[in-house]
Amino acid sequence: MKNSFINFDEFAKYSKPGPRYTSYPTALEFSEEFSYQSYINELKNQSDQTPLSLYFHFPFCRSACYFCGCNVIYTSKKDKMDRYIDYLEKELEILSKLVNTKRVVTQMHFGGGTPTFYDAKELERIIKAIKSHFKNFSKDAEISCEIDPRFLNEDQVKIFVENGFNRVSFGVQDFNDLVQTEIHRIQPFETTQNAVNLVRKYGIKSVNMDLIYGLPYQNLDSFKNTLELSLKLNTDRYAIFNYAHVPWIKKSMRKFDEATLPTPKVKLEILKFTHDFLTQNGYKMIGMDHYAKPEDELFKALKNGSLHRNFQGYTTKSGANLIGVGLTSIGEGQRHYAQNFKDLNEYENAIDNNKLPFCKGILLKDEDILRKAVIMGLMSNFYLDISRIEDKFNVNFKEHFRHSLEKLKEYDNFVNVSEKCIEITQTGTLLIRNIAMCFDEYMKENEKRFSKTV
């Protein structure tokens, strides 16, 4: 495949630190200024007509994957894991007194960590606890779980299917032996293949695979092989992430020799090949980092305007209030974001005091809500209907965003701006984070806290 429309040497100059915009404002703006009582007021004031999306975080992993940026606790102690279930049950009990649990649940997601580090009986206990409070799941609810293929068996899959789980996401990252050794995640192709076959056997129809480019020792040829192997599994979706190298935040990343990381030019070559390879094999690009088959719900959501971006990436259910349960979980309402404690002792202490384990968040200003609509619109659709924003927020777009549009001129070759819309070109989609940054009121020059955009 030819890299026909990209001058990689020139394009790589746009690599700079920037957010992934799973929220706006980003989590770095969360603070304790948004108080516990303010959060409780936001929960209590939510409309009974607004559906719910539930996220449950399971932080435990047996060992470290050195590339991982998630909030994880490494352990093999069953008592600590069982204790966590006790506290999840207590947290649900407190939550049920503050939120109308009769509201329709349109989405539930188990993330981690490694949710399938819990065995079938433990998973069943967790699900029963959830459904003892939240009983009104919609018929088309998306119920999903992140799965490490190294920790999955038939009994677990049976429990998922019996309880309505209809989507799973497999963490793969790369099939190359050298890369797997370096990132401390040995996962042969056959392990992933067996896991995919198992969930298919029990009728789970939506299967996602996570891959990461930018890892140590990756190059274009090695990633081509990973893609070719992955295609044999016939998954419905891909999430193709740019490795976020943030060793100042995650100590495990300091184990990498930075000289082994692919350059921005090589990463762009990998990304371009990935796009061509997947689209030529029947997948459609969704947002910044997802691909889906045309019959997949994610692609349908893009077409009907219900595609939504949050901390789990792109989802099919917009308009719901997200409630995060468990250590470090993040929730999202119409005017707020809220995050739970990251420290296990603080998490337990809050619940022992009959309080939700909330630690910080942000109450959105009117300007935040406006810019969130712009940034998330661009991130989800690579397109923004200017007149729609003007009508909804009663603003003159060109006047209100004149400074942002001035910054956008740096990307003139990748963006078409008219009186009616902003449209990102095919090449420009590779720079969508940079383009969205032009509308970010919190972004500072030479921002160092984020991973590189390219």
* Residue 332, in any domain of the structure: no
Closest CA to 332 of 42, 20, 21: 42
The domain spanning residue 1 has which CATH number?
Answer: 1.10.10.920
Please report the pLDDT score of residue 3 as a whole number. Answer: 38
Mean pLDDT of 227-253: 93
Number of domains in the chain: 2
Last residue of a domain, one of 274, 303, 325: 325
* Residue 358, in any domain of the structure: no
Q: Are residues 141 and 190 in the same domain?
A: yes
Residue 446 — pLDDT band, cuts 50, 70, 90?
very low
Q: Are residues 142 and 221 in the same domain?
A: yes
Annotated binding-site residue? 18? no
Annotated binding-site residue? 330? yes
Annotated binding-site residue? 29? no
Please report the pLDDT score of residue 88 as a whole number. Answer: 98
Residue 213 and residue 215: Cα distance in Å, rounded?
6
Q: Which residue has the tokens 């890299």?
A: 3
Annotated binding-site residue? 114? yes
Please report the pLDDT score of residue 447 as a whole number. Answer: 59
Residue 379 has pLDDT above 50, yes or no: yes
Residue 329 and residue 340: Cα distance in Å, rounded?
5
Q: Are residues 251 and 380 in the same domain?
A: no
* Residue 122, in any domain of the structure: yes
Q: Per-residue pLDDT tens for 103-158?
A: 999 999 999 999 999 999 999 999 999 999 999 999 999 999 999 999 999 999 99
Residue 232 and residue 450: Cα distance in Å, rounded?
35
Annotated binding-site residue? 173? yes
Query: What is the amino acid identity at position 123?
Result: L
Q: What is the DSSP string of 307-346?
A: -EEETTEEES--SPEEEEESTT-EEE-SSEEEEE-SSHHH
Residue 448 — pLDDT band, cuts 50, 70, 90?
low
Annotated binding-site residue? 343? no
* Residue 388, in any domain of the structure: yes
Q: Are residues 130 and 2 in the same domain?
A: no
Q: Are residues 81 and 192 in the same domain?
A: yes
Annotated binding-site residue? 185? yes
Q: Please answer whether residues 395 and 417 qualify as being in contact, where contact means their C-beta atoms are separated by less than 8 angstroms.
A: no
Q: Are residues 255 and 171 in the same domain?
A: yes
Please report the pLDDT score of residue 199 as a whole number. Answer: 98
The domain spanning residue 279 has which CATH number?
Answer: 3.80.30.20
Residue 2 — pLDDT band, cuts 50, 70, 90?
very low
Residue 219 has pLDDT above 90, yes or no: yes
The number of beta carbons lying within 10 Å of the beta carbon of residue 101 is 17
Query: What is the amino acid identity at position 253?
Result: M
Q: Are residues 386 and 263 in the same domain?
A: no
Residue 4 — pLDDT band, cuts 50, 70, 90?
very low
Annotated binding-site residue? 146? yes
Residue 341 — pLDDT band, cuts 50, 70, 90?
very high
The pLDDT > 70 percentage for the chain reads: 96
Annotated binding-site residue? 426? no
Q: Are residues 256 and 136 in the same domain?
A: yes
Range of the domain at 297: 26-325
Please report the pLDDT score of residue 16 as a whole number. Answer: 80
Residue 310 — pLDDT band, cuts 50, 70, 90?
confident
The pLDDT > 90 percentage for the chain reads: 76
Last residue of a domain, one of 292, 325, 358: 325
Annotated binding-site residue? 6? no
33-47, 149-163, 423-437: the lowest-pLDDT one: 423-437
Q: Per-residue pLDDT tens for 58-101?
A: 999 989 999 998 889 998 888 899 999 999 999 999 999 999 99
Q: Are residues 85 and 164 in the same domain?
A: yes
Residue 262 — pLDDT band, cuts 50, 70, 90?
very high
Please report the pLDDT score of residue 443 as a whole number. Answer: 86
Q: Which two tokens stand for residue 362?
A: 């942000």
Burial of 162 (0-12, 13-18, 19+ CB in 10 A): exposed
* Residue 102, in any domain of the structure: yes
Residue 161 and residue 143: Cα distance in Å, rounded?
10
Last residue of a domain, one of 295, 325, 355: 325
* Residue 353, in any domain of the structure: no
Q: Which residue has the tokens 């699900």?
A: 127
Q: Per-residue pLDDT tens for 171-193?
A: 999 999 999 999 999 999 999 99
Please report the pLDDT score of residue 37 as a whole number. Answer: 97
Residue 244 has pLDDT above 60, yes or no: yes
The mean of the pLDDT values for the chain is: 92
Residue 6 has pLDDT above 60, yes or no: no
Q: Are residues 212 and 258 in the same domain?
A: yes
Please report the pLDDT score of residue 200 as a whole number. Answer: 97
Q: Please answer whether residues 42 and 335 qualify as being in contact, where contact means their C-beta atoms are separated by less than 8 angstroms.
A: yes
Q: Are residues 63 and 146 in the same domain?
A: yes
Q: Are residues 240 and 170 in the same domain?
A: yes
* Residue 19, in any domain of the structure: yes
Annotated binding-site residue? 113? yes
Please report the pLDDT score of residue 301 as a whole number. Answer: 78
Please report the pLDDT score of residue 454 as a whole number. Answer: 65
* Residue 337, in any domain of the structure: no
187-196, 239-248, 314-323: the lowest-pLDDT one: 314-323
Question: To the nearest 10°, the Cα dihedral for 15, 21, 25, 30?
Answer: -90
Annotated binding-site residue? 435? no
Annotated binding-site residue? 351? no
In this predicted model, which residue has the larger pLDDT, 4 or 402?
A: 402
Residue 386 has pLDDT above 50, yes or no: yes
Residue 251 has pLDDT above 80, yes or no: yes
